[in-house]
């Protein structure tokens, strides 16, 4: 799995940061991508990556504030104008359908590909057999969600050397044995794949938060995650202001990562009031509580 930050500013863009969007590569198979939020200018940011709108299969909108959705109509239309016919699914809060359909109708625009809009509530959103995605309600002035992406555990490593020594030739049979299936050899022997697999490989978990003040769902969403992406709009001295507007501070994001026993934290959604030096100070505040904290910058990528 891989995340690339296309925008990391809160509210408005700055000279060095665009507003919120995260490009997500679900796994090693295929070129499909997911997008988490789509602030104004997101399609311009995409032009500076190896991806394009036609790669995007799913878009998750945390909430309907402009710095998270104003780039969506343009991206949807550009995807159509580029000739993409691949289906696209949008997930987000109530009102997302009205917003998209109204923008397309009033601008005389349309899509030439199947577009599905799912207005969701907290709970499991889908499970495709490889990844399970759940949504949790966050603390914000409007309906807002965070996302927990859980990769299913994968079979352990197949003992190819041992199988070769036992007279099993590499090829299609190895694929079946890797799945834990039983196969019959030409000499009549039956080989049980489960007996030739190492311990299962634990799937990775990523928690991506929308805008939020500290709240009761946060620990469940972040619990044991390999990576948490969390807003850190303001410094901790401004906690009262941040929380009153449905936002978190750098220290509050770090405290959550610590209490959730997460492996890594990336802070983003940095207020435009902060210069690069100010953003570095936010990072220092977070690291004082949770050393495994990183500061997102536009086009920063991280792999799991």
* Most trustworthy range by pLDDT among 31-45, 166-180, 193-207: 31-45
Provide the pLDDT confidence category of residue 178 given band limits of 50, 70 and 90. confident
Is residue 277 predicted with pLDDT exceeding 80?
Answer: yes
Indicate if 298 belongs to the active site: no
What integer best gives the mean pLDDT of the chain? 94
Does pTM surpass 0.75?
Answer: yes
The contacts found for 106-114 with CB under 8 angstroms, 24 or more apart, are 107/73, 107/77, 109/73, 109/76, 109/77, 109/80, 110/80, 111/76, 111/77, 111/79, 111/80, 112/80, 112/83, 112/84, 112/85, 113/79, 113/80, 113/84, 113/85, 113/86, 113/87, 113/88, 114/87, 114/88
151 vs 149: CA distance, rounded Å: 7
Q: Which of 67, 159, 211, 298 is catalytic?
A: 67
pLDDT tens-digit series, residues 218-244: 999 999 999 999 999 999 999 999 999
């Amino acid at each position: 799995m891989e995340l690339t930050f296309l925008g990391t500013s809160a509210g408005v863009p700055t000279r060095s940061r665009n507003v919120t969007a995260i490009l997500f590569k679900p796994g090693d198979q295929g070129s499909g991508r997911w997008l988490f939020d789509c602030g104004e200018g997101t399609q311009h940011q995409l032009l500076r990556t190896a991806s394009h709108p036609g790669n995007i299969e799913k878009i998750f909108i945390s909430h309907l504030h402009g710095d998270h959705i104003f780039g969506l109509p343009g991206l949807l239309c550009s995807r159509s104008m580029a000739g993409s016919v691949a289906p696209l699914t949008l997930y987000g809060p109530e009102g997302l359908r009205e917003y998209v359909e109204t923008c397309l109708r009033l601008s005389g625009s349309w899509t030439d590909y199947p577009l599905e809009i799912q207005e969701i509530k907290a709970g499991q959103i889908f499970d495709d057999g490889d990844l399970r995605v759940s949504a949790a309600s966050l603390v914000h002035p409007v309906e807002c969600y965070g996302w927990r992406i859980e990769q299913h555990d994968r079979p352990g490593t197949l003992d190819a050397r041992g199988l070769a020594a036992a007279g099993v030739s590499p090829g299609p049979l190895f694929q079946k044995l890797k799945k834990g299936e039983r196969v019959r050899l030409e000499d009549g022997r039956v080989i049980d794949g489960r007996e030739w697999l190492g311990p299962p490989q634990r799937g990775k978990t990523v928690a991506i938060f929308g805008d939020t003040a500290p709240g009761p769902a946060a620990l469940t969403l972040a619990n044991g995650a390999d990576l948490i992406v969390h807003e850190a709009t303001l410094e901790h001295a401004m906690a009262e202001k941040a929380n009153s507007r449905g936002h978190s501070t750098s220290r509050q994001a770090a405290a959550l990562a610590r209490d959730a026993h997460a492996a890594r934290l990336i802070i983003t959604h940095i207020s435009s009031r902060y210069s690069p030096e100010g953003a570095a100070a936010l990072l220092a505040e977070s690291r004082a509580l949770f050393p495994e904290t990183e500061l997102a910058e536009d086009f920063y990528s991280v792999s799991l």
